[in-house]
Chain A
Amino acid sequence: MPDQGDATGGTYGTDGARTAPSAVRVEGLWKRFGEQVAVAGIDLELPAGKFIGLVGPNGAGKTTTLSMVTGLLRPDMGRVVVAGHDVWADPTEVKARIGVLPEGLRLFERLSGRELLGYMGRLRGLPGEETDKRATQLLDVLDLAGSQHKLIVDYSTGMRKKIGLAAALLHNPEVLFLDEPFEGVDPVSAQTIRGVLERYTASGATVVFSSHVMELVESLCDWVAVMAAGRIRAAGPLADVRGSAPSLQAAFLELVGAHGRDASGDSLDWLGGNSGTVTR
């Protein structure tokens, strides 16, 4: 397992794309809530122009990390540099260059989808006409045109994620941060989101997204960082992190030390039709 314990991403390796500057650089990031340490000293360097997955079990600190990286949560310690600018010292430069879709925070739900985009675009300083033009295209591509005049409070989870994504893309950011963008999203909407993101990274932009669905990360990302208990366990190109393991899932379980906990032995041996054998 390469880069284990050392998460500065010194060896991007295989494709030799060392030339690209890093999109995000995190140094010694700490956050504790009362007694609980949510993020315990993260150092991370994410390459630009990649589709980057931040994976980890629930409670690993993914959301806390992304919140601190995007300026929504103040870290106790550490430094975050996005697109060459310090998030906390130079917010003007950073906020214009990033798009964010957080998890667990509301949208302005009493606006319709189109109104939300119009509002966000103007807050971002885009001219009204340009905002409306971009909004129309985003609503079309994300398959929301039919519901654009419905209030967001009446949207489904998938539609919320899509309108949140549209709001995050509206100002054409360099780096896009998405917290669990596929959580609770139906397959059709997921495919739509995926298509938009792939097109976006193909143009040279960076996507950083968190997930605990390994198959998804494996099929989407070319660079992954594995988080557990507030620390980075591994980071690097997908192939390097996966190493010799048959799948990212297997590599991940090994990394976070979750092996040997599957249902074998005597427990639950009564479960199932042909009692005694347990299949997973």
Chain B
Amino acid sequence: MSAPAASAGASGTSGAPSGAPSGVSGAAGTAARPAASVALLALTPIFVRIKLALLRNGLKGSSKRKAAYFSSLAFALVVGFFMTLGLGLLRGNAHAGTVVVLLAGILALGWAFMPLFFPTGDETLDPSRLVMLPLRPRPLVAALLASSLVGIGPLFTLCLAVGSVIAVARGAAGAVAAVVALPLLLLGCVIIARAVATANVRLLTSRKGRDLAVLSGLVIAVGAQLANFASQSLFQAGGLSALEPVEAVVRWLPPATAVGMVDSVSEGSYGLAAAQLVLTLAALAGLLWSWERSLTRLMVTPDGSTISASGPVKDRGGAGGFWSLLPAGRTGASMQRALRYVVRDPKTKSAWVTALAIGMIVPVFNALQGTGSVYLGSFGAGMLGVQMYNQFGQDTSAFWMVAQTISGTRDAYVELRARAFALALVTLPYTVLVTVVTAALLDDWQGFPAAVGVALALLGSMLCTGAVASARFPYSIPTEGAFKNVAPGQAGLAWGGILGGMLASALVCGPVIALAVWLNMAEHRDVSWIVLPVGVAWGWLAAWAGLRLAAPTVARKLPEILSAVSKG
């Protein structure tokens, strides 16, 4: 237990002195009475101690959490160390300024958005827990600031900040500027996060805020893909000089201005540096002011949390519009519900948007880099096809409502078919679109029909195996938390179902893939269009067979499916 306290304490002591003085000077300005400063002096260490105690208590009991904490601490330290080292090695490089300024910008951006996606991260910072205590805003801001400097995130940021200023600081003036810039950058990041979080605390504690947190998985998944391709193209397209126009802007955005200042001083442009310093200080003061304001408002106004959480949704049901084109009865109703859930349910939305985005990014970016193939268009079909898996788990325990209306194989078949229709309604045009874009970028129109054929055969196979897996391997999807997609104890079931299903899908559509490959290998590309009708027929047949196969199982095992999907 001593290790986390020691390491967190180390970051606390490195952070607290830089946090406390600014708070002291801020409070002393208005509250000159001794009582107020006594309260202030007492408050900051109390909050830092609370934060340390929370960190320590969070690790008690669960060895899993302990392992997670220490591995992320070690990871942050190792990455931080190497980043610092790498940045230090950039010293003297012509692009060092560009890199560190952009890095500071990205860092600040990350800090600004983090509270929106990970709102439950820090209990000491939830002002609603402090409402009943008689606290003045200024000392509270200072204390909260000091306590938010304790933790892995600030430690990591400090490492990067040190590396950044080392990379660009030159000469005695540069060193002085670096010493000034270091706390400014760190404080800037932390204050941005706190100001954003406090201003949005109503949103974050409401249902909409929790919905937003669930979408963070999507941001990370898509962001990782984009970053991957961006870094690849950056190294291909003549390196860092391509980023200079961006850097010219970011250089003037606080708190990246703090690093920009060090660079300016080192280059001897003292006027520029002074402007950047003033801008940084002004921005920090502004952020502190707005943080204090929203904090004060939060502490004195009662919580009306759910009142404004959602306005009524417009009545688009029933008559008119797109929905009236859907078939009547169970088919239309189930399709409508499934499609509404894609838009409204954060978990479903997150999965769909990730699939749609990655299904587009992979073939298109590969095509842009000249490494693509028109057959990568089936990537999106595969990604969306995965959504057919665990259909009833996506219903959560509300599946009982469906179960109550399924009284035989026919009902089960129509229900599954409606869900497959809903998926196909989006996936079919999407797959064609992605393949068209990919073919256009590669100028490979000869391969286009075959690529669509393979994609649709794959989609049909995924619908087939997805339906069977939904019936045989249902599992619960917890509604909260972006990264928990399986209820405890069902992970094996979930992965087994999906991996086995994907293997089976590959086997099911294997003949179509084999046909396409053979036609390409044997230089029969001129007749490769034949894959399109074959693929369509094959996919349709596979989907139909899968639904037929799954329906009796669903009808027979309704109570078992319900209990399997109700654990979330």
Listed in ascending order, the chain A residues whose CB lies under 8 Å from chain B are 70-74, 91-92, 94-96, 100, 102, 104-112, 114-115, 118-120, 122-125, 127-128, 132, 147-151, 153-154, 167
Q: How far is the CB of A152 from chain B (nearest CB, A)?
A: 10
| A149: contacting residue among B312, B334, B560, CB under 8 A | B312
Complex: chain A residue closest to B315, CB-CB: A149
Distance from B397 Cβ to chain A, minimum over Cβ atoms (Å):
4
Bound CA span A73–B557, Å: 10
Q: Are A122 and B309 in contact (CB under 8 A)?
A: no
Say yes or no: A154 contacts B330, CB within 8 Å: no
- Given A102-B400, A106-B398, A120-B401, output 19 extra A-B contacts at Cβ < 8 Å: A71-B404, A72-B562, A73-B559, A91-B407, A95-B405, A95-B406, A104-B397, A105-B400, A106-B396, A108-B341, A108-B395, A110-B344, A114-B315, A114-B317, A122-B328, A123-B401, A125-B329, A149-B313, A153-B207
How many residues of B are in contact with the other chain, CB < 8 A?
41
- Which residues from B are CB-within-8-Å of A100? 400, 404
CB within 8 Å of A: which B406-464 residues: 406-408
B396, B398, B408: the one within 8 Å of A92 (CB): B408
B210 → chain A, closest Cβ, in Å?
A: 10
Partner of A150, one of B310, B396, B402: B310
Of A107, A110, A118, A122, which one neighbours B329 at CB under 8 angstroms? Answer: A122
Q: Does B405 lie within 8 Å of A124, measured CB to CB? A: yes
How far, in angstroms, from A153 to B310 measured CA to CA in the complex?
10
| A63 → B minimal CB distance (Å) | 12
For A112, the chain B residues whose CB sits under 8 A away are: 312-313, 315, 317
Name the residue on A nearest B307 (C-beta). A154
A-B contact pairs, 25 of them (CB 8 A): A71-B403, A72-B403, A72-B559, A73-B559, A74-B560, A91-B407, A95-B404, A106-B396, A107-B398, A108-B337, A108-B398, A110-B340, A110-B344, A112-B313, A115-B317, A118-B333, A119-B337, A122-B332, A123-B330, A123-B334, A125-B329, A125-B330, A127-B328, A149-B315, A151-B344
Q: CA of A119 to CA of B397 in the docked complex: distance in angstroms?
A: 16
Specify which of B317, B396, B405 is in contact with A118 (CB 8 Å cutoff).
Answer: B317
Chain B residues contacting A108 (CB-CB under 8 Å) are 337, 341, 395, 398, 401
B238 within 8 A of A: no
> Which of A108, A128, A132 has most chain B Cβ within 10 Å?
A108
Distance from A153 Cβ to chain B, minimum over Cβ atoms (Å)? 6
Considering the complex of A and B, which 9 residue pairs feature the smallest CB-CB distances, nearest first? Answer: A122-B333, A92-B407, A149-B312, A110-B344, A123-B405, A105-B397, A74-B559, A106-B398, A91-B407
Q: Name B305-352 residues within 8 Å CB distance of A.
A: 306, 309-310, 312-315, 317-318, 328-330, 332-334, 336-337, 340-341, 344-345
A112 to B343, CA, bound (A): 13
Give the CA-CA distance A73 to B403 in the complex, in Å.
11
| CB nearest neighbor in B for A156 | B306
Which residues of A lie under 8 Å from residue B345 when comparing CB positions?
110
Q: Among A111, A120, A124, A150, point to the contact of B340 (Cβ < 8 A).
A: A111
A107 to B330, CA, bound (A): 17
Interface check B558, CB cutoff 8 A: yes
Say yes or no for B563: interface residue by CB 8 A criterion.
Answer: yes
Q: What distance in Å separates the Cβ of B442 from its nearest Cβ neighbour in chain A?
A: 40
Bound complex: CA A100 to CA B404 (Å): 8
Q: Are A106 and B397 in contact (CB under 8 A)?
A: yes
Q: Which of B207, B329, B402, B405 contacts A154 (CB 8 A)?
A: B207
Q: Let me know if A105 and B398 touch, CB within 8 A.
A: yes
CA distance A47 to B315 in the complex (A): 42
Chain A residues within 8 Å of B395, by CB: 108
Residues of B within 8 A of A149 (CB): 312-315
Asked if B310 and A151 sit within 8 Å, CB to CB, the answer is yes
Q: Chain B's nearest CB lies how many Å from the CB of A224? A: 26
Which of A106, A109, A120, A124 is most buried by chain B, counting CB atoms within 10 A of its CB? Answer: A106
Nearest CB of A to B212, in Å = 14
Which A residues are CB-close (under 8 A) to B402?
123
User: Is there a chain A Cβ closer than 8 Å to B566's Cβ?
Assistant: yes
- List residues of chain A with CB within 8 A of the CB of B340: 110-111, 115
Q: Which of the listed residues B341, B398, B558 has the most CB atoms from chain A within 10 Å of its own CB?
A: B398
Q: Which residue of B lies closest to A171 (CB)?
A: B405
Contact partners of B559 in chain A: CB under 8 A: 71-74
| B313 and A96 form a contact (CB under 8 A) | no
Binary A-proximity of B336-378 (CB < 8 A = 1, otherwise 0):
1100110011000000000000000000000000000000000
- Separation of A115 and B309 alpha carbons in the complex (Å): 20
User: A residues within 8 A CB of B406?
Assistant: 95
Is the CB–CB distance between B337 and A154 below 8 Å?
no
Q: Which residue of A lies closest to B310 (CB)?
A: A154
Give bound CA distance, A237 to B483, whole Å. Answer: 53
Residues of B close to A96: CB separation below 8 A: 407
Q: Which residue of B lies closest to A110 (CB)?
A: B344
- Of all chain A residues, which has the CB nearest B331? A122
Q: Which residues in B have their C-beta under 8 angstroms from that of A123? A: 330, 333-334, 401-402, 405
A70 to B562 alpha-carbon distance, docked (Å): 13
Closest Cβ–Cβ distance, residue B314 to chain A (whole Å): 7
A32 to chain B, nearest CB (A): 14
Q: How far is the CB of B362 from the nearest CB of chain A, in Å?
A: 29
- Residues in A neighbouring B407, C-beta threshold 8 A: 91-92, 94-96
CA distance A188 to B393 in the complex (A): 35
State how many angstroms separate the Cβ of B320 from the closest Cβ of chain A: 13
A74–B313 CA distance with the chains assembled, in angstroms: 38
**Chain A contacts for B344, CB-based, 8 A:** 110, 151
Which of B317, B558, B560 is A71 in contact with, Cβ under 8 Å?
Answer: B558
Docked CA distance A107–B395 (Å): 9
Is A151 touching B405 in the complex (CB atoms < 8 A)?
no
Considering the chains assembled together, what is the distance between the CA atoms of A122 and B562 in angstroms? 21
Residues of chain A contacted by B309 (CB below 8 angstroms): 154
> Chain B residues near A110 (CB, 8 Å)?
340-341, 344-345
Asked if residues B333 and A150 are in contact (CB atoms below 8 Å), the reply is: no
Interface contact A151-B313, CB-CB below 8 Å: yes
Quote the shortest CB–CB distance from B560 to chain A (angstroms): 7
Neighbouring B residues of A127 by C-beta, 8 Å: 328
A108 to B397, CA, bound (A): 9
CA gap between A72 and B344 in the complex, in Å: 27
Closest Cβ of chain A: how far from B480's Cβ, in Å? Answer: 12
Nearest to A90 among chain B residues (CB) is: B407
CB distance from B487 to the nearest CB of A (A): 14
Question: Shortest distance in angstroms between A186's beta carbon and chain B's nearest beta carbon?
Answer: 16
Closest A-chain residue to B415, C-beta based? A123
Q: How far is the CA of A154 from the CA of B207 in the complex (A)?
A: 8
Residue of A nearest to B418 (CB): A123
Bound: A111/B342 CA distance, A:
12
Select from chain A the residue with minimum beta-carbon distance to B348: A110
CA distance A149 to B314 in the complex (A): 7
A111 CA to B344 CA, complexed, in Å: 8
- Name the A residues within 8 Å of B207 (CB-CB): 153-154
Taking each of A74, A102, A114, A123, which has the highest tally of chain B beta carbons within 10 Å of its own beta carbon? A123
Query: Which of chain B's residues have a CB closer than 8 A to the CB of A114?
Result: 315, 317
Q: Which residues of A contact B329 (CB under 8 A)?
A: 122, 125
Q: Is the CB of A107 within 8 A of B401?
A: yes
B333 contacts A119, C-beta separation under 8 Å: yes
Min CB distance B315 to A, Å, is 5
With both beta carbons as reference points, the residue of chain B lying nearest to A108 in the complex is identified as B398
CB distance from B334 to the nearest CB of A (A): 7
Complex interface: chain B residues within 8 A of A71 (CB) = 403-404, 558-559
